[in-house]
Chain A
Amino acid sequence: MSTTIKIKHLNQYYGRKQALKDVSLTIRTGMFGLLGRNGAGKTTLMKVIATLLPKSEGTVSVCGRSTQSAGEVRKIVGYLPQEFSMYPNMTVYEAMDYLGVLSGLGKAERRERIKELLERVNLTDDRRKKVKALSGGMKRRLGIAQAILHDPKVLIVDEPTAGLDPEERVRFRNLLCEIAEDRIVILSTHIVGDIEATCEDIAVLDEGSVIYQGTVPDLVSMTEGKVYSAQISKRELELLKKDYIVTSMLTLGNNVMARFLAEEKPFSSAKLCEAGVEDAYMYLMHMERGIPE
């Protein structure tokens, strides 16, 4: 059986608005990152794959199963929406058990899986807590546990790190990487750091179109030799912003340490830097929209 997700010429409309434009993607085992700003169409794409939205045009097949036959796809897909919760009066264990029944797991299987998964997401001690008493991070972890409860071949997580503190975020990424060892994990985010640390393959969406698909190193190499940094005054910064894409800055007293993109060395005090994913992402977004003049 096929172990890839194949999306061909997918178009998606909300009334007159087109949310996805001719999207074609092939997604293989491992972590796959979907990057793009808010409203780029990431959630729409994920919902189509998870059979929560009917596709308007094109074909989407998940491990050889068309999303038309939703029941077949649901058996092998786990989904964690951006915003979710569970019945507030159920305990962590009860909620997992309920969802386990809905996934068609037998009694012994449920007991074993839930124990194992709560261990894995570090919620074993909280299994008797009511869902309404969980913190944001705990709820996220419970969310991941419920999504892989039925051991799906494909795991789809929508903006999972939003609202987590830095420590939680790192733990969460590592958890996803472990899970991705033997299955497809699709992760959407607008935080570049999440992708940098975890994904091999990525796609960048902008206004419903795929503007990049490939590996992270390939993306970074696009800006190789184009990233500079310079210490300049605050007034100079305004001028710099007009001519170049500033990807980050750090205020140092009256001066600013700016990092920016340029095709060639712009002035003598600028130093060439090693390119990062963030730089490449900014470059890509501005290429699509046109570099500021």
Chain B
Amino acid sequence: MFGRLFVKECKQTVKSLVYWVIVLILIFDFTSQLGDTEIARKPEPGQEEYGYKSSHDPELIMKSVLGELTEEYYRESYTTYPIGFYKNVTLNEEDDRRIAGILKEAAGIDGREAAGQMVEDWYALQQETGTLGAAGEEIHREPLKVDPAEGLTYERFGELMDEADEILGGGSDYCKEYRENSAKVAMTYEDALEEYKTLTEKDRLTGGYARLFSDYMVIFLGILPVFLSVTRGLRDRRAMMQELIYTRRCSSFTIVVSRYLAMTVMLVLPVLIISLVPYLNCVEYAQRAQISIDNLAFVKYTFGWLFPTIMVVTAAGMFLTELTDTAVAVLVQGAWWFVTVFGGIGRLGGGMYGWSLAPRHNTELNWQGFHDGFAQLAANRLFYTAAALILTGLSVLVYSQKRKGRLKIRGKILANRKSKSEA
């Protein structure tokens, strides 16, 4: 029964308008974002620049983070991005004193005057070396660097910065994720070559591009599945078919799970097909450059990275629709998506996956970051998979109760609306 029902549900999905709109959006997403991506070339010696990379040197990190703190403390204005939106924080007296204490311990700078002195000196130097224009506009700014206090360990530095971040309400330049990426150094030819080698050898080319592919697709997949599952969830009621289905012998488990499986499979299918395009690009490049690639990388990333997101968004939409018989899941998912995507703006570079619904990795490079963040990413993806299964289980429960005439929530909330909304 399950298999036949699954096939029928897939056929129904193929016939629905919403499904094809979703497919079109995915295609558009891919072509607009990744359509003209060129496969990375091997760097040549003698190029003008090779880009920047984050330094992991504790000394360098401490210097640039403390420079930032000194400047912001002096200006009495802090910039944070709690969910990716710019947020300006000004502190009250007590918090201001706490930051002063942190700055004193970390950099030996005592009070606003001392901080001001450092900033003025740096500013003057910038003008002298010509990196600031006459009117003060930036040409190429060398950020302020402040030496840490003598004997300050990197651990203690971390503790102090965490405290500063907490005072500022999170999302500041001092939180762990941002500060560890704050020190940028220019890459040399050797560095660039190393990156390229990592991409072609460790990632075998397709690995890196599959991650970039996942990065772009996951944004839309963080919301599109909800439209499909809400439409499906409302279809029985719209078609006045609920009671005909309720009185069948088929178990609620079979009905709900076959629908769920059909939706997720039908959603992952176009993703797999679209991934053939970058895959073939990689194949072509690899033949010319004589490198061996991982042929299954796109499949692995689609199921490992993207499928959990498809699963949980579909399941959440299904659950809320079953529970309320309304389209409210769209609004809920919209809010969830908004917070996820804007909250992830500071973590585009990869390696900082956290518990995001849509983990980002906006580069084909940074294999090291992926490698370091892999445990977190795996935990994240497993968590959402488990959440999806739990939500599906709850949907089965709600469905079976509704079938027996219990849990008529819509009736209760909207009972007085149905009759009176005639005007």
Residues of A whose CB lies within 8 Å of any CB of B are 47, 50-54, 70-71, 74-75, 77-79, 81, 83-89, 97-99, 101-104, 107, 146, 150
- Closest Cβ of chain A: how far from B340's Cβ, in Å? 34
What residues on B are CB-neighbors of A107 within 8 Å?
4
- B250's nearest neighbour on chain A, judged by CB, is A102
Bound-state CA distance A85–B242 (Å) is 9
CB distance from B235 to the nearest CB of A (A): 7
B249 interface neighbour in A83, A88, A89, A104, Cβ under 8 Å: A104
Question: Is B8 at the interface (CB under 8 A from chain A)?
Answer: yes
Q: What is the chain A residue whose CB lies nearest that of B405? A: A53
> Which residues of B pack against A, CB within 8 Å?
1, 4-5, 8, 12, 15, 235, 239-241, 243-251, 255, 403-406
Query: Given A81-B243, A81-B244, A84-B243: A103 and B405 within 8 A (CB)?
Result: no
* Separation of A64 and B195 alpha carbons in the complex (Å): 74
Q: Which residue of A lies closest to B400 (CB)?
A: A70
Partner of A87 from B1, B241, B243, B406 at Cβ < 8 Å: B241
Q: Inside 8 A of A89's CB, which chain B residues have their CB? A: 15
Which residue in chain A gives the minimum CB-CB distance to B243?
A81
Give the CA-CA distance A54 to B406 in the complex, in Å.
7
Quote the shortest CB–CB distance from B101 to chain A (angstroms): 62
How far is B235's CA from A104's CA once the two chains are assembled, in angstroms?
A: 22
The CA-CA distance from A79 to B235 in the complex, in Å, is: 20
Known A-B contacts: A85-B241, A101-B8. Give 11 more (CB < 8 A): A51-B404, A53-B404, A79-B244, A84-B240, A84-B244, A86-B239, A86-B244, A97-B8, A99-B248, A101-B250, A102-B249
**A99 contacts which chain B residues (CB < 8 A)?**
244-245, 248
Q: A132 — nearest CB in chain B belongs to which residue?
A: B239
B247 touches A74 (CB 8 A): yes
With a 10 A CB-CB cut-off, give which of B5, B245, B404 has the most chain A CB atoms.
B404
Whether B241 and A102, one on each chain, are in contact in the complex, defined by CB atoms closer than 8 angstroms, is no
Question: Please, how many angstroms separate the alpha-carbon atoms of A257 and B15 in the complex?
Answer: 60
- Contact A85-B239, Cβ < 8 Å, known A54-B404, A104-B1: yes
Nearest 4 Cβ contacts at the A-B interface = A53-B405, A102-B248, A85-B240, A79-B247
Compute how far the CA of A71 lies from the CA of B400 in the bound complex, rounded to whole angstroms: 10
Q: Is the CB of A50 within 8 A of B406?
A: no
CA distance A54 to B401 in the complex (A): 10
Contact between A103 and B248, CB atoms less than 8 A apart:
yes
> Complex formed: what's the CA distance from A277 to B241 in Å?
35
Give the chain B neighbours of A51 by CB distance below 8 A. 247, 403-404
The reply to whether B243 and A70 form a contact with Cβ atoms under 8 Å apart is no
10 contacts between A and B (CB under 8 A): A53-B405, A54-B406, A71-B251, A74-B247, A78-B247, A79-B243, A79-B247, A87-B12, A88-B239, A101-B1
Q: Are B405 and A52 in contact (CB under 8 A)?
A: yes
Q: How far is the CB of A280 from the nearest CB of chain B, in Å?
A: 32
Residues of chain B contacted by A74 (CB below 8 angstroms): 247-249
A52–B1 contact, CB under 8 A?
no
Flag if B235 contacts A103 (CB, 8 Å): no
Q: Which residues of A contact B247 (CB under 8 A)?
A: 50-52, 74, 77-79
Taken together as a complex, chains A and B put the C-alpha atoms of A78 and B243 apart, in Å, by: 11
Q: Which of A78, A79, A87, A104 touches B250 (beta carbons < 8 Å)?
A: A104
A103 to B, closest residue via Cβ: B248
- Whole-angstrom distance between the Cβ of B10 and the nearest chain A Cβ: 13
Residues of B within 8 A of A50 (CB): 247
Report the bound CA distance from A210 to B33 in whole Å. 70
Contacts of B248 in A (CB 8 A): 74, 99, 102-104, 150
A146 near B404 with CB under 8 A, answer no
Contacts of A88 in B (CB 8 A): 239
Which residue of the partner chain, among B15, B239, B241, B249, contacts A103 with CB atoms under 8 Å?
B249
Residue of A with least CB distance to B255:
A102
C-alpha gap A179/B76 in the complex (Å): 86
* Least Cβ–Cβ distance between B19 and chain A, in angstroms: 13
Q: In the bound complex, do residue A71 and residue B244 qualify as a contact, i.e. CB atoms below 8 Å apart?
A: no
B5 touches A101 (CB 8 A): yes
CB distance from B343 to the nearest CB of A (A): 40
